[in-house]
């Protein structure tokens, strides 16, 4: 029974740590978007170049890096989408509060 309780407690702590890390990462993304803006990000992305390997095969490290970057890209898009929705909601609220009823 103690082992089960200990395992559940450790798992709970690990999951809480993951959630905290995820929240921290999204806060960092939001802060970076505030500093540089989405257009700056898009300009930087457009400058990136990719030279495929001459033999046409990717290494395991290249695949892992791709998956990591792709995951980060999804996080950035998610944060940007939420911020854009929050701005749209605020603008809509401001517009409706100014209109005569």
Q: Does residue 26 sit in helix, strand or coil?
A: helix
73-90 residue pLDDT tens = 888 888 888 888 988 999
Q: Is residue 6 part of a domain?
A: no
Tokens 């798992």, located at residue: 11
39-56 residue pLDDT tens = 777 788 788 888 888 999
> Residue 43 sits in which domain range?
17-98
Q: Is residue 41 part of a domain?
A: yes
Overall number of domains in the chain: 1
- The reported pTM is 0.56
Q: Which tokens go with 76?
A: 């950035």
The DSSP code sequence of 66-92 is HHHHHHHHHHHHHHHHHHHHHHHHHHH
Which DSSP state fits 101?
Answer: -
* Nearest alpha-carbon partner for 38 in 92, 68, 79: 79
């Amino acid at each position: 029974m103690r082992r089960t309780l200990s395992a559940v407690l450790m798992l709970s702590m690990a999951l809480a740590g993951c959630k905290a890390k995820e929240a921290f990462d999204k806060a960092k993304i939001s802060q970076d978007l505030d500093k540089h803006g989405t257009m700056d990000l898009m300009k930087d992305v457009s400058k990136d170049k990719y030279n495929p390997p001459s033999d046409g095969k990717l290494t395991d490290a290249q695949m892992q890096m791709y998956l990591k970057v792709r995951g980060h890209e999804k996080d950035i898009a998610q944060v940007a989408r939420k911020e854009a929705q929050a701005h749209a909601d605020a603008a809509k609220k401001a517009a409706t509060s100014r209109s005569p009823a």
